[in-house]
Structure formats: structure tokens, C-alpha cells
Structure 1
Amino acid sequence: MQHIIFRESESYEVALLIKSQSFNDTALRRYYYMPLKDRGFKANIICFDLIYGPKAKCPVSLQKDYLKDLLPILKEQGVKYIYCADGNYFKTLTKERKAEPHHGYCLPCAIEGYTDMQVILGVNHAAMFYNPDLQEKLDMGLDTLASVLKGTYAEIGGNIIHNARYVRDESDVYTVLQELKEYPELTCDTETLSLKFWETGIVTIGFAWDQHNGVVIWCDDYEKANHKIRQLLRGFFFTYRGTLIYHNANYDMKIIINTLFMDNLLDEVGKQQGIEILTRSFHDTKLISYLATNSTAGNKLGLKDQSHEFAGNFAEDVSDIRLLSKEDLEVYQLKDCLSTWYVFNKHFQTLIQDKQLEIYEGIFKPSVKLILQMELTGMPVDMDMVKEARKVLEAKIAECVSVIQGHTDVEQFTYLLREQEMNKANAKLKKKVKPLSDFDYVEFNPNSNPQMQQFFYEYLQYPVVDKTDSGAPATGGDTLMKLYGMTEREDLKELIQTIVDFFDADKILGTFIKAFEGSVLKDDGHYYLHGNFNLGGTVSGRLSSSGP
């Protein structure tokens, strides 16, 4: 355990905790001590290193053992505040599942006996070598610590709503929509029951005219459509002549077009009309963020990530809005609308300064219109052929499993696996001993990385030719083909090729066939696969997709 103090004192109000590899007096002064001093902070600081295990692993058990030694020392030194520049230790100190959403917050230590201490999440200065954008989060943590020490700390996002209106009575909707037409720009956000546009209507829709004021309108009563309000909203989009600002426009636009403009999933006239109206004048803050922040270090483009310093950790993305009360849902949606304004104000000038406006207006925004066409139309799928493909692949997988399980080396290795399970189980028993026959259910599983590693690198004693990002021996298809080239035994070559064939068939079945089976049956009797394309989000700029 190492420590550094910047000046001698009888006690230290603040402890700075950071990974041992980054524990450097000069760096700690430059990135933490002097910036705190510039913020008017005059309390004394003591710094301690945080240990990691081999290969940069940091299991919770190691952290707890280390903290058992460290926390009593902090208490003895009079520490009240812990600035923890390590996400793993922060989670252990606070018992939070995630560290990232808690930048800018001051949380109580959750470890018994030390709950009087407060913990603030920081950033390891060494990480900024790879991602200079982390400076913003480092500053946020230092600002939080300084405000706590000065007694001026206020939870971020607590007062961003200045004026809110929540409209549940359908008789008020027309008047509110007429008032909204007076604003030249509005952010817009929808809340729905599903991410699949054909399975949901619009439960609520929110608009904001700046980053502190807005309105949320109830449309459908969850599953029950309200056709009167839908008609009023449709009229609003027809007649509004300002600019609508979305975050991830393709999602909200799909929902709005399908709900308000299309009579059914094959309504081509309504679809084209909706696309033309919604892409008439719009901005997408997800695309703006992508163009303003994209770097080789990557970036997170979610609305919560991009607006964290403004709205704080007000809620994780909700997967089922029915779990929220109406009041909570209204606030949740309005904060999304306000946050969209914040992100627009935060990044749009950067986009212009970085000379990205021509790309945004000339390539990215027109692509939103094209992608809407693709996503709303879908790709026709022959479901009979999908079913036939499933049968062929399942037969191939069964054939591969039979060959794999019947191989002499696999049979012997499976016996060892069963012995291991038996010894593990019997080690927990005091009297009764389980026989090996109780473990006949244990089979060699090619999808188990630990088993594959043990089989190839311990049992068959192949040299490790590739490693995963975490440093473990690799067992993927490409690696197995390298091992294939290293053996002279024909039976092992057949085994390796069969395992690779198993991987390929299993991947096609679990990825592509599963997605095809989720296609939508429409009124023309044909199935259609609707994709979700991501314009922006990759470092290279390529188009990607998700779900499917």
C-alpha cells in the first residue's frame, strides 16, 4: 500500500484513490491537486494506490480484502470524502451496479462501519492518453468534490424542469398543439410499448421549446388507441412549419408515420406522405453528436450519455413504460425532450466549427429519409424456405455433435469433466459421496470457452497461438484452423473441421434464421423482415444494424 501527501497535516479531509500503475506524484499534482486548488479547495489530501491482480484483473474479492486494510486507515486519518478514480472500486465502495451513470454525484459509502464517508467517482488521468474526451468527466468529478467541500453541492439534473405541462384530457390537446405551432423549433420524443413500430402506437408524445420548458401529451391509453388524439397529432405534423429536433430520428419518425399516417403496414400512400412531412425540416442530435465527437477512441451516442452533465442519472432507458406511474413517465419523457435540446445546443456549433455541416446536411440527413423507406417497407422473406433452412441446419448441427461426442479424445476428456464435477460436488459433502454415474449429464460443449480451452491447450497440449482481448487462450474458428494446420493426425483434423462446421451452423441458426422467423406477416400474405439501421455510431462511419 503506497501513499502520497502534498503537505503534512494532523488529518486529511479527502482521500484520492487511484490504480497503482497511475500512482505518480507529478501526475497526481497536475491532474487533481492543482485543479482542486484552482477551484478554491484548501483542504488536505492524502492519496493511496489501489491494487489490481495479474493481467489487470480486479475481482471483487480482491477489492474487499484490500479495502478492509485501507478503510480503517482512512478513518484514522479523518477522511470524510473519497475521490475514487477507479470504476471497479467505486462500485464496491457504493454497492452500485454501474459506475458510469454516477459521474457528478456524491454517494455515501455503503460498506458497514464507513457509511459516514462520501464517495465521488473520478477519472484515471492515464485513460486520457487514449481518450482525451474524458477530460470533461474528470472535471465533473473535481467540480463535484469542490462543491461538496464548499457546501454548495446540488444533485445534477434536479432543477432542469422550469415549466411543465402534462396533458391527459383530450379536450385540451387541440389548444396545446396550436400553441406549439408558435415556436420555430421544437424537440420531439415518443414513448411506446415496443421498439417494434408495428407492435405499438404512441402512448405519450413530448415537445419542448427550450432546454427547460415543455409539454407531454397522452395519446393512446397504452394498448387502446385514441383515434381522436391521433388525428389531432396528424394535423399538427401536417401544418407545423418549424423544425423538429429528435434524438435518433429514425426511431421516432417510424413510430409517428406508422401510427398517424399509415392505415396498415402496406399503406404506401400514407407511408410516403408521412416520410415527406416528417423529413421536411428536422435535426437529429444523435447524428450531430456522432459528427461532433467521433474519434478513434469511440463515443457513446445515447441521449443519457450525451446529456449526463445536464440531466444527470435521472433514469436508465426504460424497457417497459407500464412499470412506471403516469407521473414518473411524464417527467421521464419531458427530461428526454429537454435533454435533446441540451445536446443540440452542446454540439451543433462544434459540428459547424469542425466543418461537418455539409456532410450532415448533404449526406446524413438525406440518408435518414432513405433509411426510413427501407425500415418501413421491410425485406420480403420466404418463410417456407426459412423453415427448410432451419431443418437443414439443425440436421447439420446434430451430425456435428454426433461426430464430436463420438471422437475418442472427446470421450476421454468428457470422462475427466465428469470426474471434476464429481470431485467438486463431493468436496462440499461431509458424509454422503456421489458416484460418477450421477454426472452422466455432463457432456463436452463446444460453445463453452473454458471447456474448449481445457480440451485443446491442456488435454491435447496445443500451444496457445491466439489470445482473446482479456488474455485468455482463444478457441474461435480462425484459431482452430491454425491448430488444424499444426496437426498430422487425420482424426484430429476431422474433429477440428467438424467443430468449426458446428460453429458456423449454430451461428447461422441463432443469428440469421432466428431473425428471419421474427418477420411480420402482412395482409398480402407475405412475410417481411424489418431492420433497424444505425446511421452513425461506428468509428469507420459504416452503416450498422441492430435488433436485427
Structure 2
Amino acid sequence: MPESKKSPFILVDGSSYLFRAFHGLPPLTNSKGQDTGAIYGVVNMLKSLIKQYNPTHMAVIFDAKGKTFRDDIYPEYKANRPAMPDELRSQIEPLHTIIKAMGLPVIVEPGVEADDVIGTFAKHATEKGIDTVISTGDKDMAQLVNQHITLINTMTNQVMDVEGVKTKFGIPPELVIDFLALKGDKVDNIPGVPGVGDKSAQALLNGIGGIDDIYQNLDRIADLSFRGSKSMAAKMAEYEEQARLSYTLATISVDLELDYDIEALMPTSADNEALRDLFAEYEFKRWHSEVSALLNAGESGSSEAQASDSKASSSEDKTSESAFSDVESIDKSQYEVIFDEEQFSAWIEKLKKADLFAFDTETTSLNYMEAEIVGVSFCIEPGKAAYVPVAHDYPDAPAQLSRDLVLDALKPILESESAIKVGQHIKYDKNVLANYDITLNGIGFDTMLESYMLNSTAQRHDMDSLALAYLGHKTIHFEDIAGKGAKQLTFNQIDLNEAGPYAAEDADITLRLHNAIWKKLEPIDSLKRLLINVEVPLACVLSRMEQQGVLIDSQKLGQQSQDLATRIAELEKEVHEEAGESFNLGSTKQLQHILFEKMSLPVVKKTPKGAPSTSEDVLQELALEYSLPQKIMEYRGLTKLKNTYTDKLPKMINHRTGRVHTSYHQAVTATGRLSSTDPNLQNIPIRNEAGRRVRQAFVPRKGNKIVAADYSQIELRIMAHLSGDKGLLDAFAQGKDIHKATAAEVFGIALDDVTTDQRRSAKAINFGLIYGMSAFGLAKQLNIPRNEAQKYMDLYFERYPGVLDYMDSTRESAKDKGYVETVFGRRLYLPDIKASNGARRKGAERAAINAPMQGTAADIIKMAMIKVDDWIAKNASDDVTMMMQVHDELVFEIKEDKIDNYVDTIKALMESAATLNVPLNVEVGIGENWDEAH
């Protein structure tokens, strides 16, 4: 074995990572519907671990099927755990096969847990003086930590040594078993001692010692300073047998008789041919490409392959390493931190000559209205990046160029339309620069939007995630240099020895990401057009809207908060009276007790842990027959409205502008819809009076009015276009009330004879079909028997057969392609469309029907925003402000005396944003506030 400091013995808790990958990552399937997410997560973790440690000795240990010796001791051990889902079980054997093909020893020992095997191996290594690193997410493993044994959570990169255990648990490693035995473990169903929690367990162990010491000194417990210490001795005595049983259950065995020699647990040469086939089968495309390239290089005997082989200490080491390494480390040796004018001027000349350069700002805040520039970075070709600090003000910070000098020199380049820039979420940088009177123009690309256009559902679109996905590179995370939590530093406080490489890397990675993603995106014409003609220009439109903000009447909101507080208090009193006792309405557990135990209301749905659900849809169903759930729903709605809007909005008014500035997000929803935060404008209710009152606080400046322009029934119109159904096309072409027309068709009556209830039913069918509603769902919504709801749906499809054909063909196309498209070619990938799990597959099928409509509606309003923004800039910039986008609605602030001039133009621009087989219709409202205008 090697010297311990050079290469530790790596023990991987495979079962821990298997469960964490399955539950912690989004579901992933291949085109055959096989679940692959857990496989991907564990293999990715192993690749990362090996890249970090390059171990010479290593093993991956999994739990075996069946019971263990702990089940014999205590039959209720782990009894609370639900059965392993089939979607996870199906991934175990393929995972073992892949790990073995990677050349790693896989150990599955029957009758014991993986923890016990790991504990025994770690003890043997310690006895030989060999350092061991245990890769796990299991807190129980902390009991094994000593000077030779360390834990690493590879998913979070957190390392836990002896001091780390003390910090996390408040006790040394040798007392961890006692700690677990006292407080118990709900996950493993270890009973512990009732009433003992973290703090009391820590007090007992630090004040007296382990369980044996405690039971020899019960009289000392009362003298300890923790809540309940006076009565704890009696409780400890009562539950001694349970405490000692818990100790036995929590103890990881370290003395198993295992038929393994730890010195023989070594990675061997990877079977790259097997890996190639396995990665192809499970559709891990990047890994498949890497292994295929290795095999091709080996077959050709190229000089490149020979040169790379010569760098390895042995062919075996090289083969093993190559299976785990994603790409070569990014060379940061040519990064520059610029302190003098001559060096800065040289970079200005480089930027002027560059065809394209990456640009990024470093600031003091994520709030674009408050952020101050601390420095800027740019990159002209991969590996050649620079950071210009201008405002690092920590003690002993070196002299830096002045912010004014730097921004003055950069302004002509940044404002130039011909100097093409690429950024990561560059809208933020555009907003920040606007605070310094710089209009960022020439935005050619945004890597966040490129990734989003390529696959909106594939992964997160932040730089750290994209660098891992497309470059195989782990970036310097902000937390790595700034810390976390309340003590986190702002960028101006960070030492330039750390801030410089971080900022330069941001620009370098941005350019590399653009090069990598654009290669994949450019061949797909529809996506390329949407990126260049819609998403990138829209980012600039949204930036202008964000900077404009919206005026809020804080006094009106203050009065609304008082009114809401009064009604909330009344509701709380009414609920308590009806329940017959006071309880915390915010406590799920107490609400479960009142509704399902005390009042014996029917259990509609259960949580994953088996408790009765109190979710919104459950309360909604119960409210049809019982008054208490109805009041609780009203209480929840008003409380949320008060906390989120009437209390919070006045605090969000910017001190400089006197307005509230939201942030619009282009790369969040799967369908292309925009979302917004701080405040979330999309979630202000419109169907109840309290929500509409909040909208009354959105007001225009003096001499202006609010104008709201809303696409009418746009998704139904898109359904008519996509399905080509003659009945729907005719109804829209003739300007009929579509819900009334549908009711007439479904019920076989004249249009004038349609009743209000019949129209309501038809409306539920129209919108329900868009969202994939079943007959069961329609029955619930209309409060009618399921067979009657099915009859309505059957009649609908008889009258509109094109809709049924569209839905059937869309589902089949989605299964074939793995994605659906909007009218304009935006794609939504559906990884679950062939899932073996019926619920996930059905959900993907519903999304396949709905996404083209939602996505097309999103495309249309985005194109309308660009068109209207361009018209405003050229014709009405002094008179019209586009303030908000909410769902299918655009909200403007227009000078009162110009309303008549502009309303018809805005309506016409929006209606001509796209051409469908049905007319687009925009309804316009005018008012003294948003509610009046809508």
C-alpha cells in the first residue's frame, strides 16, 4: 500500500449515493423509458471522486437484499421506510455493471449493511496506519472518524474530520453512537429515549459521558443545565433497555469476518468497450463520446494517443484514469488582474479588434438596482481573460484603477452595436451598467439563454451547472471565496488573490460555454432563429422594463394590510370555534389532528410518509362539503396575500426611483413562459376581491393612465390552429363566444339556447383538454358523476374530431422524437414520455398536449413585446412605458392625453405579432389602476 498521505484508501457508500441520486436529482430516462437518473448521479459522483483523489486502492460497497442481523435483534428496525420504488430497483443491476466496467471493485455482503463492511475495512486500514476516506452522505458514519479516517460528501464536497464531527454534532466522534442511541433515528426507526433531542443529548454526553457513564451517574443529571434535566433521570431509568438496544442498533460493526484483502481492493483497467456499449444503451451521450474517442485513438495508434500515453506512469494507470476524467483541466495561467493604465489600454485595443468577447461585471449585490460595480472581466479567446478591479476596499487592498476611468474607457465599446458581446445572464450586467449611464449594446449571445433554448428541461442554466455539463469543469464557486450565511463577504471585501481568478474564470468559462453550446444549437434552424430573433432581443426589452419599474400606492397597501389582518383574525377565531379548540393554523400536524382525527373528515390523499395530506387541492375538495376547510383555505390565501404583497411591496420601493422593480426570468419555465420575482407579478390573484384590491395599488404617474392589453383565449386559438379542426376554426373566424359555441355543439342545441351552466361546463372542457384533464378531473371540477363527465368529453370529440386527432398524433410524435414543438419550433423535451412508471408517463403525455400551446403563446407575447418596444422607441418614447408582462397581458403607462392616439396601435401591433389560421384578438382596458384597466 502507498504512504497514507499520498493516496488514501477510498471507500464509497454506494447505497447512500444511490438513494440520494434517485431522490435528489430530477427523473431521467432514456428513449426506451428506462430510468437512468440514479445511475447517472452515482457514476458522476464516482468520476468526480476519482478525479479528486486518483486513488490506488478503492471499493464501492452496496447493501445486499434481505434482512440483516439488526432485523433479528429488533424486527421494527427500518420498518418506517417505504418499499424501494421500482424505478430505483431497476437501476441497481445496471449501475453495478457500469461500476465494474469502470474497473472498480463492487462489494455486496449479505446479512450486513454496507456501513458494517465499510467500518470493518476502515478499521483494518487504520490498524495498518493507512489513511481512509469514506465517501458517504450518511451521518451515522461520523462514529468511524478518527485521525486516520475522514468522511467526504462528494455531492456537496464537504469533508468531515474529527473537528468537523465536533462542529456538526457538538460531541467528539467516540460519542456519536451514544448520541444516536439517546435521540433515536426516525429514518431507521431506532427508538432512542423519548424526550431526548439534540441539545439534551449533547448536554448529557458532554456533562457526564457515554451511556454507560450516564447510567452509573443518574443522580448527576439534575445538575446539568438543559431544559428538562430535573426529570430526565427518571426517564432515562425508565427507558434504559430501549436506550441500550438503540446503542446496539446504531453501532456500525467493525469486526466482520470478510473474505477480502484490503490491499487487493484496487481499481483495474477500465473495460472501455463495455462502457461504450453501456453508455450508448443508457444514452449518456457525453461519456459515450469520450470512451469512443479513446477507443478510436487506441485503434489508430495516432501520435496524439501515443503522446498522451507517454505522460502516464503506466498504461494501466492511464486506462483507469481516462475512464473517469471528463476533460483536461482549464489552464488559468494566462489570466490577468489589471492594476495599471498601460496594461488596461492594451486590453482596450484587444477588445476593439475582437470579433466577439465575453463580458461580465462583479458587483456588491444581486439586486440590479442597488448593485455597485466592483470590477469587470472579459475574455477574447479561451484561456485569455482579464479582471479589472476598481472597488475592492478590504484592509491593505492594493491600489486599483478608478471606476470612472475604467468605465469611461469601456463605454464606447460597450455601447457599440458592432462590438459583439456574449455574457452569462447578461441582462443583469446591462441593468447594472445602466446605473452608470452606460447602455450595453451589441449583445450577440447569452450562454444561459443558449442552454435554455437547446433544452429547457435538461438542467439548471447557471454557469456552475453549465460548466460541469458542457465542459466537465468545476468552477470556483462564489461560496468558495466569500463564505456562506450571515458572514458571507460581498465581492468588494474579497482578497484579489482569490477574486481575480474567480472573475477572470467567469469570462473565460462564458466564452468556452458559448463555443460549446453554439455548436449544438446552430444546426437546429428553428432554435437558432428563436434565440437570435426573440430571446436575446427580449432580454434587452425586459431590461428596459425592469429599469422602468412600476409605481405603487403604499398608503393603499397599508390600509389593505390592516383590513386583511382584521379578516385573518376573524377567520382564525371562527376556525377555532368550529374546531372546538385553539390550534396553530400554520401547523400541518395540528391541522391533520383537527381535520382527520377530531372531526373525522375523509382522507382524500396521503403524503409520501403516509400522513393525511392538507394540501390546497385536498382542502379544495373537502371544502365542497365542509365549511372548516373552506375557512382554512381563505385564511391561507389572505395570509399569503398579506405577507407576500400588502406588507412586502411597500418595503420594495426603490429609494432612488420611488418605484418597484421586478426581475423577469427567461430561463426558468419549461414551456418558454416568463416568470418574475421580487415581486412575483404572476401570482397576484385576480379571481378574488382581495387580490384585485392589491392590483388597485399599481397606479400610474400623475397625468398618465394604466392600459392593460390582454390576448383573449390565446391558448384555445392556438389549439384550433394546431389541430386544424374545422369547427373550432370556424367559430373563431366568425368571432363567436367559443365557450358558448362549444356548449351548443356538445349539447346539440342552438347557440341562443345555451344556458349559463352549459357554457360553464363547456369552458371547463375547453380549458381542461388543454391541460390534459381526465374525465375524473372534469367530474370533480363540475361536481358531476364521472360517467356524465366522460359523456361530455366523448360528445366534444365527436363534434371536434380534429382535436382528438391532434392529441393522439402529438402523443405518438412525442414518444417517437422525445420532444414536442411550438408553432415556431421551440422544443420541450419529455424525458418521461416512455417511463415505466405510469403516473410519470401520463404526466409527460399531458405536457406533450399542453406545451405546444403554452409555448406558442409564450413565443407570441415575446414577439409582441419586441415589436411594441421597437415602436415605442421610434414613435412614443416620451409618452408610453411598457411596465409589466403577466401571463398573456402587457401593462402600459400612457400619458392621459395620448391614450386615443396609441391604444389602437398597441392592439394592432400585438394582434399582428404572429399569423395563425385563426385571428389573434387583444382586449384593451384603461383605468386609474391596474385592476380598473384589466
- Superposition TM-score, scaled by structure 1 size: 0.68
Q: How does 1:141-156 map to 2 (within 5 A)?
A: 150=320
Query: CA 1:378 to 1:118, structure 2 compared with 1: closer, same or farther past 3 Å?
Result: farther
In the TM superposition, residue 528 of structure 1 has moved relative to its aligned partner by 1.2
Partner SS for 1:327: helix
Query: CA 1:30 to 1:46, structure 2 compared with 1: closer, same or farther past 3 Å?
Result: closer
In the TM superposition, residue 519 of structure 1 has moved relative to its aligned partner by 3.3
Measure, in 2, the Cα distance between the counterparts of 1:90 and 1:388: 50
Partner of 2:464 in structure 1? 304
- Residue 336 of structure 2 contacts residue 387 of structure 2 at CA under 8 Å; is this kept in 1? yes
User: Any idea what the Cα deviations from partners look like across 1:415-444, whole Å, max 9, x if unmatched?
Assistant: xxxxxxxxxxxxxxxxxxxxxxxxxxxxx2
- Residue 456 of structure 1 contacts residue 462 of structure 1 at CA under 8 Å; is this kept in 2? yes
Measure, in 2, the Cα distance between the counterparts of 1:47 and 1:183: 55
Query: CA 1:197 to 1:75, structure 2 compared with 1: closer, same or farther past 3 Å?
Result: closer
Partner SS for 2:670: coil
2:558 counterpart (372, 380, 387): 387
In the TM superposition, residue 189 of structure 1 has moved relative to its aligned partner by 1.1
Provide the identity percentage: 16
User: Any idea what the Cα deviations from partners look like across 1:363-410, whole Å, max 9, x if unmatched?
Assistant: 111211211111111111112212122212222222222323344523
In the TM superposition, residue 47 of structure 1 has moved relative to its aligned partner by 3.2
Partner of 2:600 in structure 1? 461
Q: How does 1:512-527 map to 2 (within 5 A)?
A: 512-521=645-654, 527=658
In the TM superposition, residue 234 of structure 1 has moved relative to its aligned partner by 1.8
The residue identity in structure 1 corresponding to 2:621 is K
More moved, 239-248 vs 312-321? 312-321
In the TM superposition, residue 340 of structure 1 has moved relative to its aligned partner by 1.1
1:32 counterpart (84, 92, 99): 99
Query: CA 1:32 to 1:408, structure 2 compared with 1: closer, same or farther past 3 Å?
Result: closer
Partner of 1:401 in structure 2? 572
Partner SS for 1:198: coil
Measure, in 2, the Cα distance between the counterparts of 1:29 and 1:539: 33
Query: CA 1:74 to 1:46, structure 2 compared with 1: closer, same or farther past 3 Å?
Result: farther
Measure, in 2, the Cα distance between the counterparts of 1:405 and 1:118: 65
In the TM superposition, residue 459 of structure 1 has moved relative to its aligned partner by 2.7
Measure, in 2, the Cα distance between the counterparts of 1:248 and 1:91: 41
Query: CA 1:71 to 1:95, structure 2 compared with 1: closer, same or farther past 3 Å?
Result: closer
In the TM superposition, residue 514 of structure 1 has moved relative to its aligned partner by 4.2
Measure, in 1, the Cα distance between the counterparts of 2:616 and 2:586: 11
The residue identity in structure 1 corresponding to 2:614 is T
Partner of 2:447 in structure 1? 285
The residue identity in structure 1 corresponding to 2:60 is A
Partner of 2:540 in structure 1? 369
Q: How does 1:67-466 map to 2 (within 5 A)?
A: 68-75=115-122, 88-89=137-138, 99-100=154-155, 150=320, 159-169=330-340, 172-221=343-392, 226-239=403-416, 241-261=418-438, 274=439, 278-295=440-457, 298-308=458-468, 309-316=471-478, 320-322=490-492, 324-355=494-525, 356-411=527-582, 444-466=583-605
Partner SS for 1:203: strand
- Residue 364 of structure 2 contacts residue 372 of structure 2 at CA under 8 Å; is this kept in 1? yes
- Residue 518 of structure 1 contacts residue 529 of structure 1 at CA under 8 Å; is this kept in 2? no
Measure, in 1, the Cα distance between the counterparts of 2:376 and 2:641: 38
Query: CA 1:196 to 1:483, structure 2 compared with 1: closer, same or farther past 3 Å?
Result: same
- Residue 375 of structure 1 contacts residue 530 of structure 1 at CA under 8 Å; is this kept in 2? yes
Measure, in 1, the Cα distance between the counterparts of 2:409 and 2:110: 59
- Residue 363 of structure 2 contacts residue 492 of structure 2 at CA under 8 Å; is this kept in 1? no
1:537 counterpart (663, 668, 675): 668
- Residue 173 of structure 1 contacts residue 232 of structure 1 at CA under 8 Å; is this kept in 2? no
User: Any idea what the Cα deviations from partners look like across 1:215-250, whole Å, max 9, x if unmatched?
Assistant: 001233569983333322323323583321111111
- Residue 15 of structure 1 contacts residue 83 of structure 1 at CA under 8 Å; is this kept in 2? no
User: Any idea what the Cα deviations from partners look like across 1:334-363, whole Å, max 9, x if unmatched?
Assistant: 111122122212211111233310111121
Measure, in 2, the Cα distance between the counterparts of 1:163 and 1:302: 25
Measure, in 1, the Cα distance between the counterparts of 2:100 and 2:447: 36
- Residue 202 of structure 1 contacts residue 220 of structure 1 at CA under 8 Å; is this kept in 2? yes
- Superposition TM-score, scaled by structure 2 size: 0.42
User: Any idea what the Cα deviations from partners look like across 1:258-298, whole Å, max 9, x if unmatched?
Assistant: 2243xxxxxxxxxxxx1xxx242421000001112324xx5
- Residue 16 of structure 1 contacts residue 47 of structure 1 at CA under 8 Å; is this kept in 2? yes
- Residue 335 of structure 2 contacts residue 385 of structure 2 at CA under 8 Å; is this kept in 1? yes
The count of corresponding residues between Structure 1 and Structure 2 is 447
More moved, 202-211 vs 455-464? 455-464
Query: CA 1:500 to 1:331, structure 2 compared with 1: closer, same or farther past 3 Å?
Result: same
User: Any idea what the Cα deviations from partners look like across 1:105-125, whole Å, max 9, x if unmatched?
Assistant: 9999999799x9999xxxxx9
User: Any idea what the Cα deviations from partners look like across 1:107-145, whole Å, max 9, x if unmatched?
Assistant: 99999799x9999xxxxx9xx99x97866589999x9xx
The residue identity in structure 1 corresponding to 2:623 is Y
The residue identity in structure 2 corresponding to 1:341 is L
User: Any idea what the Cα deviations from partners look like across 1:448-472, whole Å, max 9, x if unmatched?
Assistant: 2222223222332323212446664
Partner SS for 1:181: helix
- Residue 466 of structure 1 contacts residue 473 of structure 1 at CA under 8 Å; is this kept in 2? yes
In the TM superposition, residue 67 of structure 1 has moved relative to its aligned partner by 5.2
In the TM superposition, residue 314 of structure 1 has moved relative to its aligned partner by 2.2
Query: CA 1:403 to 1:322, structure 2 compared with 1: closer, same or farther past 3 Å?
Result: farther
Residue 506 (1) aligns with residue 639 (2):
yes
Partner SS for 1:529: coil
Measure, in 1, the Cα distance between the counterparts of 2:551 and 2:530: 32
Partner of 1:437 in structure 2? none
The two structures, once aligned, show a CA RMSD in angstroms of 4.6
Structure 1: gaps spanning 5 or more residues: 4-11, 52-64, 120-124, 262-273, 412-443, 488-492
In the TM superposition, residue 196 of structure 1 has moved relative to its aligned partner by 1.6
Larger radius of gyration: 2
